[in-house]
Amino acid sequence: MNQLDALKRFTTVVADTGDFKQLAQFQPQDATTNPSLILKAVQKAEYAPLLKDTVARFKGRQLDEIMDRLLVRFGCEILSIIPGRVSTEVDARLSFDTMGSLTRAERIIELYQAEGIHIDRILIKVAATWEGIQAAEKLEQRGIHTNLTLLFSFCQAVACGHAKVQLISPFVGRIYDWYKKSAGSVWDEAANAGPNDPGVRSVREIYHHYKHFGIATEVMGASFRNVGQILALAGCDLLTISPELLAQLAASQEPVSRALDPAQSPAMDLPAAGYDETAFRYALNEDAMATEKLAEGIRAFAADAVKLEQMMKAQA
């Protein structure tokens, strides 16, 4: 059994890509996308017609609507291949706009429903800002399930659990990147690998907290830099993995052991945690890594949304 098949015994495997033509070979349950992945895809010859056709069909509409229609177009293609859910992201420029995020999320759902896609097969991705979490809570109350992304800190995870969001995506690789860069020349790769990886440790803390307190929100590790990070989280509810790393897992016959198990969580005297807006903002501010990576991630996704709009303008 290869490592990918072995991993699937413990964890729901999710493909992290807009390149849906690669999906079938890995047989993931779910898939996730983001503006950067869609931008990367439409620059390939095999996907460029989707952009051109979407712009032509809805010429004269607002760019934000055409953008959502393109995202849904990719989502529908993905859902024709996978059995589970696809995550589609609200424009990152709305990360601090609760009502704006709600409006865009509802439109995305309406566009999927117009294509005959059931609401339960869609997860709306929203940045785990305070405003994004409030939007997600309202969406969940309306029966629209959410995936809270750009999550780097314990306080973000606690607030998401309190909001009863469907799923969170803690970013393993970007946490690792920050600590490695911060350490500079004294970074010891071997000492910070596997379960000692700072990104892995963050996800494990969140996972154990959720299981200890019976929080139903799913934990999906994301943003992996290497196979070692993935295997160190085998048993996490879900793991979303790039095609490149999925291929590495499929090519290896090395054994895979379960690293996380809700039935075997360590005995912990964990205090209950909760945050109102003031406490949340202060806790996030106290975490330099999370503050910097959240801001950086929003800027990067927003910049790629702008690039995608520029490509749409060029097609018009």
* 44-58 per-position pLDDT tens digit: 999 999 999 999 999
In the predicted structure, residue 191 carries a pLDDT above the cut 60: yes
Q: What is the pLDDT at residue 96?
A: 98
Q: Catalytic site residues?
A: 125
What are the two backbone dihedrals, phi and then psi, of residue 58, each rounded to the nearest 5 degrees? -120, 30
Domain extent, residue 119, equals: 3-315
Sequence-distant (6+) residues with CB within 8 A of 2 are: 249, 250, 251, 252, 253
Give the CATH number for residue 245. 3.20.20.70
pLDDT band, residue 263 (cuts 50/70/90)? confident
- pLDDT tens per residue, range 223-236: 999 999 999 999 99
Tell me, what DSSP letter sits at residue 302? Answer: H
Indicate if the pLDDT at residue 265 is higher than 70.
Answer: no
Going by C-alpha positions, the residue among 286, 293, 291 that lies closest to residue 177 is 293
First to last CA, the chain: 49
- Give the count of domains, the chain: 1
- Give yes or no for residue 63 having a pLDDT over 90: yes
pLDDT at 159: 97
State the pLDDT confidence band at 35, using cuts at 50, 70 and 90: confident
The pLDDT of residue 79 is above 80: yes
Give the burial class of 77: count Cβ atoms within 10 A of its Cβ; 0-12 exposed, 13-18 middle, 19 or more buried.
middle
> What's the whole-number average pLDDT of the chain?
95
8 Å CB contact between 16 and 38: no
Per-residue model confidence (pLDDT) at position 271: 65
Mean pLDDT of 253-278: 83
pTM of the model: 0.96
pLDDT at 274 over 90: no
